[in-house]
A and B are shown apart, each in its own frame.
Chain A
């Protein structure tokens, strides 16, 4: 599920196909891996849906992930992205991989949107405003570092 939500198969393939230095390839790949790892935590903490229910849930979470990606693509610059650019990562690839970093929020936003009947775009806007204020890295750390009860 997490790989589908993150669009990881295509990203892994793009990283593998890119002509970049081995260290950079490893770092880009590890970034995608980390997004999958973090998203999978959400599913491991919850009972398993199956069949159509599972398909619907993954589709909702994928939509939230896409909304995050679309917003992140508009602001692809930060220190890490800059470092990847300097190291020779192709622009489309580094934008795609950097967008991954906030995808662990996708299941939470989709879930909150469903449970509280609030629009996903508004939630993504709120996350984006926070990202602008404190930066992707800090936002990600603070989110993933917070206890489950507060999420």
Chain B
């Protein structure tokens, strides 16, 4: 949550997420976040990473074409695969796919924490990951 507050403008109260004090109380009681809270954070992390990627040149890198092709059904790729890179929503699709993959497999805070650790942009972290 701290990373999302710093990098993605998260306002906890807007999403009924616990304050730091409440989290400290929970931790002292051996508790963590509830599943609904984690689900909200997961969604917010994906939205934040997607927004970062849309502002970066990463989604214009042709090396990621295979990721884009994998999104479309086989018969579409077989007939129109050569046109997929020119899809008008190519950048949005790639950003959403990449953000979803990275957040799902590496966790909600991974991208922004790594960015902080290495002084890198979130898109550089996604690219490296």
Given contacts A3-B129, A44-B120, A44-B124, contact A8 B63 (CB under 8 A): no
Q: How large is the interface on B (under 10, 10 to 19, 20 to 34, 35 or more residues)?
A: 10 to 19
Contacts of A40 in B (CB 8 A): 114, 125, 128-129
Given contacts A36-B105, A36-B106, contact A44 B128 (CB under 8 A): yes
**Distance, CA A33 to CA B61, complexed state (A):** 25
Q: Residue on A with the closest CB to B57?
A: A50
A1 touches B127 (CB 8 A): yes
**Distance, CA A54 to CA B127, complexed state (A):** 10
Contacts of B114 in A (CB 8 A): 40, 44
Chain A residues engaging chain B, CB cutoff 8 angstroms: 1-3, 8-9, 12, 33, 36-37, 40-45, 48, 50-52, 54-55, 58
Q: A36-B106, A51-B61 are in contact. List 15 more A-B contacts (CB 8 A).
A: A1-B127, A1-B129, A3-B101, A8-B105, A9-B101, A33-B105, A36-B129, A40-B114, A43-B127, A43-B128, A44-B125, A45-B118, A50-B57, A54-B61, A58-B63
